[in-house]
Amino acid sequence: MYQYFYDLTGNTILATLVVAVFPLVNVLIVALIGVYLERKVSAWIQDRVGPNRTGPFGLFQTVADFVKMLQKEDATAKDIDSKLYNIAPVLVFTGSFAAYAAIPFSSKLIGSEAEVGLFYVIAISSLVVGGILMAGWSSNNKYSLLGAMRSVAQIISYEIPTAIIVLSIVMLTGTLSLDKISNMQTAYFWNWNILGGAEFGITKFLLIPFMVVGFIIIFISTLAEVNRTPFDIPEAESELVAGYFTEYCGMKWAMFMLSEYGNMFAVSAIVSILFFGGYHSPIGYLGNSLGVEWLIPFEQAFWFLAKGWLFILVQMWLRWTLPRLRVDQLMSLCWKYLIPYAFVNLIIIGVISLL
């Protein structure tokens, strides 16, 4: 993408700026639409109407919220550790935003075509843990601290099944580059990894059930990593006020919210890249059949965003379906169920891919 814009404009600064700004705009749009959709979906599921006063269908609700947040006084408690307190939201947001550097939106819209993209995404999103612990600790508040501790325990635990499933995909595809993994699932939807990958033969059909299991495990564990219901005990409203960001307000609080929605899209993107063909269309390209080359990247971006939003919607759907897990249930789900299944899955996929 950098090269593309460099060729287009011939200016290194402009090209860098465009490449850097695009994911930021995406995160902002995701947060803007995500908050609105969250409210609408929750309302529809509960047979309510949802926001409908601000603009047509309440579309400007998030804008109104944002303006309110900007105007808020930055009230802080007296005994906070102000250095850590101020760094924490930035760090959390950086962690979730940095992951976008390696996510391919389409064959032309890739921040970095790094060979170790998948590894980088998993590593950099762990930065969030540090930020959350900082926020909880520096707030000097029992709810914040409890929330932060729970969050750290949860994220670190659930990174294991995620990593194992990612490993099984890496074993199958033989690359860590997100772009290459996407490109292996090109053309039609039966080439997607969840349907056994692009290679045709007996192994494809043998792989399907294990890929489905892998998808379920990685979906559950990424859901837990972004602290969404039913794994939202770090910010459990009914017991911990707001968890690790109880003491935050105004724009610092907005940074946490922004990173939450940014994370939601990032994990949805990772899941769709690993199992659902990334930016590739399930039904072929209009650009190919019409013979219009330049249309293809836009179509790819459309399919990528569509898949990402689909998973975000499923996350919301789950949020308004399931009640919150208890701490011990959370840990037993991860250590007693997800990790053993993931390991068995890894071994079986390894054996099949050797065939």
- Which spans of this chain sit near other proteins (rule: CB under 8 A)? 41, 43-49, 52, 216, 317-318, 320-322, 333, 337, 341
Q: Is 341 left (phi over 0), alpha (psi -120 to 50) or beta?
A: alpha
80 near 138, Cβ under 8 Å?
yes
Enter the tokens of residue 84.
Answer: 């850590």
Whichever of 5 and 311 has its CB closer to other proteins, that residue is 311
User: Closer CB to other proteins, residue 40 or residue 252?
Assistant: 40
43 vs 80, beta carbon nearer other proteins:
43
Least CB distance to other proteins at residue 319 (A):
10
From the CA atom positions of the chain, what is the Rg in Å? 21
Which lies closer to other proteins via its Cβ, residue 18 or residue 318?
318
Closest distance to other proteins from the beta carbon of 306 (Å): 19
Q: What is the distance in angstroms between the CA of the first residue and the CA of the last residue of the chain?
A: 37
Rounded least distance, CB 322 to other proteins, Å: 6
DSSP assignment of 259-304 equals: HHHHHHHHHHHHHHHHHS-TT--TB--HHHHHT-TTHHHHHHHHHH
- CB-CB contact of 182 with 303 (8 Å): no
Query: Any residues with CB less than 8 A from the CB of 255 and at least 6 apart, and which?
Result: 89, 90, 92, 93
Instruction: State whether residue 196 is helix, strand or coil.
Output: coil
Question: Phi and psi of 188, rounded to 5°?
Answer: -100, 170
Residue closer to other proteins, measured from CB, 33 or 318? 318
Distance in Å, CB of 45 to other proteins, minimum: 5
d(CA 245, CA 338): 29
Cβ 215 to other proteins shortest distance, Å: 12
Q: Of 2 and 341, which has the nearer Cβ to other proteins? A: 341
The residue count of the chain comes to 355
- The half-sphere exposure of 147 on its side-chain side, counting CA atoms within 13 A, is 29
Residue 353 CB, shortest distance to other proteins, in Å, is 24
**CB closer to other proteins, 72 vs 336:** 336
Minimum distance of other proteins from residue 321's CB (angstroms): 4
Between 47 and 328, whose beta carbon lies closer to other proteins? 47
Q: How many CB atoms lie within 10 A of CB 199?
A: 12
Q: Which residues pair with 104 in a beta bridge?
A: 110
Contact 182, 106 (CB under 8 A): no
Tell me the closest approach of the beta carbon of residue 156 to other proteins, in angstroms. Answer: 22
